[in-house]
Structure 1
């Protein structure tokens, strides 16, 4: 389903030059070095983060972010002028970044349509951090109102040479104000860009609005595909098979972008119902390498057998078993930064959230509960967070069709797993 309802939100001129210069200067890095992962969470390898700790009123860390400036409309007839410094992007002293869109009072700021009506901020990591594959997430409280357009997204680091859309774009989260309870995740590339982007929406239940609280927006990106989630609930996966024969351009490093636009072809302009200022409050941005959350592949256990979804069915309560390794999608598991382990678009789940020895392990719609959260330890145990028990091959068997369960951790061979 195409969910890109807007023209490409490209950076004109400045960002292309920024990326090109960064490549020539070889200052783009793949990690800022956040330290080794703890031994009891060996699967997690955080590669970059910004927790936005600092004094109130200070600008974003220039060692991590570049603030873009200008009022070109960014390919979408947006109305804001993006400023530098801390006037529209500043820390609040409580561990948050606050991006503020407000009415412009500076008559000297020129936009594509004349004197700018609004100012806001847009920031990227093109000079300081890029990465291919892994888990990327941010906890954000978005703004509200007609014509308001917050986003957390990524562009390919070859933007300066390949151009857009050949460089690729991954929109982790976009919201337009007239849809207060819905966000969109989309990919753009050659033959599927702008309004032809490929993605899907995610809506909160019960008429809730995203602006009312913080939510975690994430992608898990592997060579085989990209999965989007909100608050740990996966809602779509995109692979080469979704592109209608077009080229997959998501096998090279990308950089991160946060911005808050006002107006544009997709959201439309603010109207009498819109109020200013509006704020996009960001608690953190984090990235992990493909050795941690975001890796996709087999999980191999006793006897060299693979963890398998019985019958390759994506129905709720489908049994999880051991099976000869075939490499098919029923044996391709994605480890999420939210602790989930997913295949076929659903989660590895302990039935009923049981803490009893012998509890059935099944495939089930992702729901964010601890019954679906797992920790992979340095000892190669896969431990369920809710039960504090290990994934276990029943009866210490390696036979084809052996059911998997949770059991008190014993250190036995039937509880040891290798993430391929």
Structure 2
């Protein structure tokens, strides 16, 4: 799995960055219109009987004790002693003090075990609402987190893949939740960070931690109340890398550059209880309902040939009209529908040149698209744009997926 850094060389610089960023976001500017949040696209309610292992159709494990780039002290396992259902509607991630002779770490022997669960192999999504209800652990050196990494991490590395930390807490700050983004030029101690401090330790009760993520905006919430917001203007000219699918991670780290290390006051075992994790789709503001989709280059609209909604019908551009063949609906699940079927990349393809056609709606994530503020009609699984093949502006020009380039044959608007 991934042996990656979640916080490279954070140390004291992170604390300073967090304080500065927190100051910058208080008071919050007047909120923009909320993103249109669609239906649930993924969830785990953790309702299995006590002792049931993690559902590996939803979660997989990172395993090992390499310090994870932050000089952490735990060894992550896939054992039910570290991650298991409790039979009361919760996933329990447990950090334990162990016999160091049993676990080899990069610096010698690991004194602690814990678990790190991720959806990299099972689920990823661009945009939407990502929320978990969690009762965090406590104590000096304990570092629970609910966070996300760009699905392209394996190709482009960190931080170019992007990282969104939905919830982090360090034990020495029991009342404070941190939310952060990391990307090229703003990673590690330079991450863009905000926080909220409440009147009692977060570990005393369950709280909901969430982000609402849309093109050019991410907002953080604690118990439904917004406490932090970022957009590309906050990056000082650095690149915004949050327009492609991300996967989720839950873990409890022990020690590390940022939280420091357990001391005589730290009690073990420590447990993080997760009541649920839920993901909702995203419907762009103003893009719900039925509309035609007009191309900037041609002035023509996306059309179903001969108004015949057969599976596999290759979509095209045609003179705009008021027929059902051009009446597209942005559905709450992220699909774009006409004549009872969905816009679809052929055979769930993600490569340049994949034909865009019409297929029976089937729940496959490959059928999710978004029309962003820049006029790009983006397939979220491929992270590529709907493109008119060979720049053909004439009736019958066929559609394909292609790398988003900002060219007129890739620009669309509601008509």
* TM-score for the superposition, normalised by structure 1: 0.60
Give the aligned partner of residue 156 of structure 2.
162
Give the aligned partner of residue 174 of structure 1.
168
Q: How does 1:132-143 map to 2 (within 5 A)?
A: 132-143=126-137
Distance 2:172 2:200 in 1: 13
Give the aligned partner of residue 7 of structure 1.
8
Give the aligned partner of residue 194 of structure 1.
188
CA contact (8 A) 1:222 1:296 kept: no
Give the aligned partner of residue 250 of structure 1.
242
Determine whether 1:229 maps to 2:229. Answer: no
Secondary structure of 1:219's counterpart equals: strand
Determine whether 1:110 maps to 2:104. Answer: yes
Please give the per-residue CA displacement for 1:223-259, whole angstroms capped at 9, x wherever unaligned. 0210000000001110000000000000000000000
Judged with a 3 Å threshold, the aligned counterparts in structure 2 of structure 1 residues 272 and 297 are, in CA distance, closer, same or farther, namely farther
What is the CA distance between 1:44 and its match in structure 2?
3.4
Distance 1:285 1:156 in 2: 18
Distance 1:87 1:163 in 2: 31
Please give the per-residue CA displacement for 1:173-216, whole angstroms capped at 9, x wherever unaligned. 00000000001000000000000000211111xx3110000000
Give the aligned partner of residue 277 of structure 2.
285
Distance 2:197 2:287 in 1: 31
What is the CA distance between 1:299 and its match in structure 2?
9.9
Distance 2:104 2:47 in 1: 33
What is the CA distance between 1:46 and its match in structure 2?
0.5
- Which runs of 5 or more structure 1 residues have no equivalent in the other structure? 10-41, 301-419
Q: How does 1:11-30 map to 2 (within 5 A)?
A: none
Distance 2:149 2:246 in 1: 5
Q: How does 1:207-356 map to 2 (within 5 A)?
A: 207-291=199-283, 295-296=284-285
What is the CA distance between 1:112 and its match in structure 2?
1.5
Determine whether 1:120 maps to 2:114. Answer: yes
Judged with a 3 Å threshold, the aligned counterparts in structure 2 of structure 1 residues 297 and 180 are, in CA distance, closer, same or farther, namely farther
Distance 2:85 2:9 in 1: 29
1:185 to 179, 183, 191: 179
Determine whether 1:53 maps to 2:47. Answer: yes
CA contact (8 A) 1:7 1:266 kept: no
Distance 1:64 1:299 in 2: 29
CA contact (8 A) 1:155 1:167 kept: yes
Distance 2:107 2:37 in 1: 50
RMSD: 2.2
What is the CA distance between 1:85 and its match in structure 2?
2.9
Determine whether 1:96 maps to 2:97. Answer: no
CA contact (8 A) 2:37 2:128 kept: no
What is the CA distance between 1:107 and its match in structure 2?
1.7
Please give the per-residue CA displacement for 1:120-173, whole angstroms capped at 9, x wherever unaligned. 000100000000000000000001000000000000000000100000000000
Determine whether 1:146 maps to 2:140. Answer: yes
Secondary structure of 1:261's counterpart equals: strand
What is the CA distance between 1:276 and its match in structure 2?
0.3
Secondary structure of 1:280's counterpart equals: strand
CA contact (8 A) 2:37 2:281 kept: no
Distance 2:162 2:9 in 1: 11
**Displaced runs of 4+ in structure 1, greater than 3 A?**
295-300
Judged with a 3 Å threshold, the aligned counterparts in structure 2 of structure 1 residues 243 and 296 are, in CA distance, closer, same or farther, namely farther
* TM-score for the superposition, normalised by structure 2: 0.61
Determine whether 1:62 maps to 2:56. Answer: yes
